[in-house]
Structure 1
Amino acid sequence: MAATIQRAPERTRPRIGSHLFLMLLLAAFLFPVAWALLSSFKPADDIVRSPLTFDLSAFTLDNYTAMFQDVPIGQGFVNTAVVLLFKGAATMFLAPLAAFAFAKYQWIGKNLVFGAVLVTLMLPTIVLIIPLLLEMKELGWVNTYQALILPGAVDAFAIFWMRQVISAVPDELLDAARVDGCGEFAIFWRVVVPVIRPGLAGLGVLTVMNIYNDFVWPVVAASSERMATLQVVLSTLAQNITGNRIGADYATVTGELLAASSVALVPLLVLFILLQRHFINGILAGSVKG
């Protein structure tokens, strides 16, 4: 009887080349962020004179102190927080609700309406600015929270994404809820929403990032300093610094710009670090329709 020859299991060799490439790519992405954060704690003159060095003994908060005195960044944070709260809540509630109608109901013209929603994704933002601004002017909403919150509150991409996620929810769950006497909204709230939580988490992170980083529409709809969002405030930093401080040189402006950019970066960085697992799960949710 011939002896059975068993092959030893092959060892998985680490892909050194791939790992090295990913590490270099990570360093390339993180270096500008790390440089900006560290340089914001350097004296302004050192930032210009020796930008690639950092001396711990020269650590200072002067850039931050001067920036908070020269720039109304606090008001920008407040306005952005208000827009985030109300616009984000509208997106997180209305987009999944609309997606539920597209995914789980059959009605006349559904495909036509959904196609129209997708067409809006192809329109550049700049094309919609003038019509929206004229509409805000007619309503008397220029330089108000309404102008910052309502346009785009129900995002077409959010509807499309949540439709893909909700389509993966088994119809049997919905039918069982109907048999138990649940109404249609109760089915959405008590059955669908708990199942699509990973997708909602991913949508939440993207919604916060989009609203937080939005610049084009806020700079048009809220031109006054009182209603300026954080990104609008950041865009006018140099003008505010030179206007509030006589004789402010290039080094001073650069130091305060880095300080303001670091302050604006930290909330998003913390949010992504805390919710990165939910964000990844949310992207994968609904990618494979069962």
Structure 2
Amino acid sequence: MAPLQTPRRRFALPAVGSQLFLVLLTLGFLAPVAWAVLSAFKPAIDIIRYPLVFDPTMFTLDNYVEMFSDVPIGLGFLNTGIVLVIKGAITLFCAPLAAYAFAKYDFPGKTLIFGAVLVTLMLPTIVLIIPLLLEMKELGWVNTYQALILPGSVDAFAIFWMRQVIAAVPDELLDAARVDGCGEFGIFWRIVVPVIRPGLAGLAVLTVMNIYNDFVWPVVVASSERMATLQVMLSTLAQTITGNKIGADYATVTGELLAAASVALVPLLIVFIVFQRHFINGILAGSVKG
């Protein structure tokens, strides 16, 4: 008999190619961010003269010191924080409630109403700006927190996301709670919410990112400096710096812009790092077919 030959291991070339592609893609995404953060610690003139060179011996905090003295970025963080906390809380409370009704209850017009909710996902934001702005003007809410918080606080995507998650909750759990005498809101709060916690965590991360990065609506409805959110303040940073500093050149403005952008990046980076595992679990929970 011929001796048995052990099968040769083939080099997993496709897997290595995929990993190499992902590494290059990651570096492509991170390179501009790394350049902006490192350049913020360079002397302003060197950012223009030597944009691709970073000398650790020339490390300086001048751009940050000048930026904090020229721009009320703390006010932008405060306004964004207030909007983020209140609007995020409304979204995370009301969207699952609406989704629970669509996922677990039968009522007249349910399909039609849910279809109307989904249709709003197809409407560009720019289409809704003028009607919403006129509504805010009639209510006297222009340049107020109400205008920044209430419009869009319960959006169609959040309802759709949570409906997909809640639809996977077994009906037997709800029926058992009803038999035990639990009320309808008690069922939602004590039974459904603990089960859908991964989906809620994923929605929370997306909600924080969307509210924190929102620019179009705040720049329209909050034109005054005292109500400007962080993104609006960043968009007008160059004009603010040149207005506060006579003779400010292009290098100075660029250095302070990079410093402000680096500071604005920190909160989102912390949120994503801390809640990365919950976000991935939430994405998987939201992918369940309902």
TM score, norm. by length of structure 2: 0.96
Letter in 2 for 1:214: D
Amino-acid identity (%): 80
- After superposition, what is the alpha-carbon deviation per residue over 1:56-99, rounded to whole angstroms, capped at 9, x for unaligned? 11111000000011111110000000000100000000000000
Q: Which residue of structure 1 aligns with residue 131 of structure 2? A: 131
Letter in 1 for 2:249: D
State the distance in 2 between where 1:52 and 1:147 align: 43
Q: Which piece of structure 1 moves more, 12-21 or 166-175?
A: 12-21
Secondary structure in 2 matching 1:203: helix
Residue 20 of structure 1 pairs with residue 26 of structure 2: no
- After superposition, what is the alpha-carbon deviation per residue over 1:1-60, rounded to whole angstroms, capped at 9, x for unaligned? x99979659577362211111111111000000000000000000100001111111111
Secondary structure in 2 matching 1:285: helix
Residue 39 of structure 1 pairs with residue 39 of structure 2: yes
State the distance in 1 between where 2:5 and 2:189 align: 56
Residue 87 of structure 1 pairs with residue 65 of structure 2: no
Letter in 2 for 1:141: W
State the distance in 2 between where 1:13 and 1:157 align: 40
Q: Which residue of structure 2 aligns with residue 219 of structure 1? A: 219
Q: Which residue of structure 2 aligns with residue 99 of structure 1? A: 99
State the distance in 1 between where 2:168 and 2:11 align: 35
**Does the aligned pair in 2 maintain the 1:167–1:286 contact within 8 Å?**
no
Q: Which residue of structure 1 aligns with residue 234 of structure 2? A: 234
**Does the aligned pair in 2 maintain the 1:142–1:222 contact within 8 Å?**
yes
Q: Which residue of structure 2 aligns with residue 277 of structure 1? A: 277
**Does the aligned pair in 1 maintain the 2:84–2:208 contact within 8 Å?**
yes
Residue 77 of structure 1 pairs with residue 104 of structure 2: no
**Does the aligned pair in 1 maintain the 2:164–2:288 contact within 8 Å?**
no
Distance 1:103 1:4, change over 3 A: farther
State the distance in 2 between where 1:259 and 1:93 align: 36
Q: Pairwise CA RMSD of aligned residues?
A: 1.7
Q: CA deviation at 1:288?
A: 3.0
**Does the aligned pair in 2 maintain the 1:43–1:62 contact within 8 Å?**
yes
**Does the aligned pair in 2 maintain the 1:70–1:241 contact within 8 Å?**
yes
Residue 144 of structure 1 pairs with residue 157 of structure 2: no
Q: CA deviation at 1:201?
A: 0.3
Letter in 1 for 2:274: L
Distance 1:187 1:241, change over 3 A: same
Q: Which residue of structure 1 aligns with residue 167 of structure 2? A: 167
Q: CA deviation at 1:110?
A: 0.4
Deviant stretches of 4+, over 6 Å: 2-7
Q: Which residue of structure 1 aligns with residue 178 of structure 2? A: 178
Q: CA deviation at 1:155?
A: 1.0
Letter in 2 for 1:156: A
Q: CA deviation at 1:160?
A: 0.3
**Does the aligned pair in 1 maintain the 2:90–2:154 contact within 8 Å?**
yes
Secondary structure in 1 matching 2:131: helix
Letter in 2 for 1:25: L
Q: Which residue of structure 1 aligns with residue 254 of structure 2? A: 254
**Does the aligned pair in 1 maintain the 2:165–2:288 contact within 8 Å?**
no
Within 5 Å, give how 1:57-68 maps onto structure 2.
57-68=57-68
**Does the aligned pair in 1 maintain the 2:43–2:62 contact within 8 Å?**
yes
Q: Which residue of structure 2 aligns with residue 116 of structure 1? A: 116
Gaps of 5+ in 1: none
TM score, norm. by length of structure 1: 0.96
Gaps of 5+ in 2: none
Residue 193 of structure 1 pairs with residue 218 of structure 2: no
**Does the aligned pair in 2 maintain the 1:143–1:223 contact within 8 Å?**
yes
State the distance in 2 between where 1:22 and 1:138 align: 51
- After superposition, what is the alpha-carbon deviation per residue over 1:242-279, rounded to whole angstroms, capped at 9, x for unaligned? 00000000000000000000000111011111111111
Secondary structure in 2 matching 1:121: helix
